[in-house]
Amino acid sequence: MSAIGVDFAAPPGPGRVPPRRRGTRAAALVGGSAPLLVVALAVSMHVGSAIATELFGRVGPLGVLWLRCALAALLLAAIFRRRALVLPRASRGGVVALGVVLAAMNACFFEAIARVPLGVASTIEFTGPLLVAVAGSRRRRDVAFALLAGIGVALLGSPSAHVDTLGAVLAFGSAACWATYILLAKRLVGGAEPLPVLTFTLAVAAVVLTGPALATAGPSLWDGGVLATGLAVAALASAIPYLLELLALRLVSAATFSILLSLEPAIAAIIGLLLLGQALGAVEIAAMGCVVLASAAAARAA
């Protein structure tokens, strides 16, 4: 029985497709669902991030992030119960490492979007998975795609872009953590179910963030309105997208997964415009276009 519940070893019978053909068609169907999973996770993630910015003034980015991780872990445990809590002993060390990386990645990203538009932060952050895609390729032309993305990032550093320097540095930190997260997660989901990996990863991230969050947010964390909004952020920006991400990573390689994320900066920019009123200038749009074009070209080459 495969991970998606299709028995490739079942014997052929009347009206049934032979195992090899059934396996090929099922594999193609599952592989074809990966782009939809990636688009869905990108939309969910950035809608949740846009909602999170509403709480920055009350509990700060780290307070919102703690709520996001802690409530998402509790939400998954409450909905899926035992399925979310059965983690193989061999995977526990990897989950601790993944949780620490997740905490660092999201802390950098939340602090970044407190200083720069959502689309700009996402464009810079996306260089992380793009680097994974290029590093996993053996084609010279992929180096050209990486250079094109580099041009886009360089445009964001030009004076005409008006991008906050600290916000950009934090976004680059998130990019480095995201690349590490993809590689660690790909290794983990090969030996464990995605659901418990996600639940325990979020729990570890929440533990890591507890001290900084309490220090910056204080008693405001326990306000009813803050908790309600935090629950929405937890579902949209953590539970749903990370579960979809881990499912997608089981269907495709880490490099292919990174390529499929090519539209994420554009999705973030659109959500930032619609929900936060963050209109980007010509330079920012050109920079984002370079990154998206580089990723789309890499996807077509792949």
Mean pLDDT computed over every residue of the chain:
80
Q: Is residue 127 part of a domain?
A: yes
Average pLDDT over residues 190-204: 87
More confident residue, 79 or 299: 79
Does the residue 130 lie in any domain? yes
The pLDDT, as a whole number, for residue 19 is: 41
Between 69 and 3, the higher pLDDT residue = 69
Residue 244 falls inside a structural domain:
yes
pTM for this model (two decimals): 0.77
Token pair, residue 130, equals 């793009």
Least confident of 18-32, 241-255, 273-287: 18-32
Domain membership of residue 7 (yes or no) is no
The whole domain housing 86 covers 34-301
Query: What are phi and psi for residue 9, nearest 5 degrees?
Result: -95, 0
- Cα→Cα distances 112→53, 60, 117, Å: 11, 12, 8
Q: Is residue 102 one of the residues assigned to a domain?
A: yes
Single-letter code of the amino acid located at 26: A
For residue 231, CA distances in Å to 48, 125, 178 come to: 10, 24, 23
Domain assignment present for residue 13? The answer is no
Following DSSP, what letter does each residue of the chain receive, concatenated? --TTS--TTPPP-TT---HHHHHHHHHHHHHHHHHHHHHHHHHHHHHHHHHHGGGHHHHHHHHHHHHHHHHHHHHHHHHHTHHHH---GGGHHHHHHHHHHHHHHHHHHHHHHTTS-HHHHHHHHTHHHHHHHHHT---THHHHHHHHHHHHHHHHTSGGG---HHHHHHHHHHHHHHHHHHHHHHHHTTTS-HHHHHHHHHHHHHHHHHHHHHHHHGGGGG-HHHHHHHHHHHIIIIIHHHHHHHHHHHHS-HHHHHHHGGGHHHHHHHHHHHHH-----HHHHHHHHHHHHHHHHHHHH-
203 falls within a domain: yes
| pLDDT exceeds cutoff 50 at 12 | no
Q: Which residues contact 210 (CB under 8 A, 6 or more apart)?
A: 66
Provide the pLDDT for residue 26: 41
pLDDT tens for each residue of 203-237: 999 999 999 999 988 888 888 899 999 999 999 98
Least confident of 12-16, 89-93, 212-216, 220-224: 12-16
Does residue 18 lie in a domain region?
A: no
What would the mean pLDDT of 110-137 be, rounded to a whole number? 84
Q: Does residue 4 have a pLDDT over 70?
A: no
Q: Is 225 exposed, middle or buried (0-12, 13-18, 19+ CB in 10 A)?
A: exposed
Domains contained in the chain, number: 1
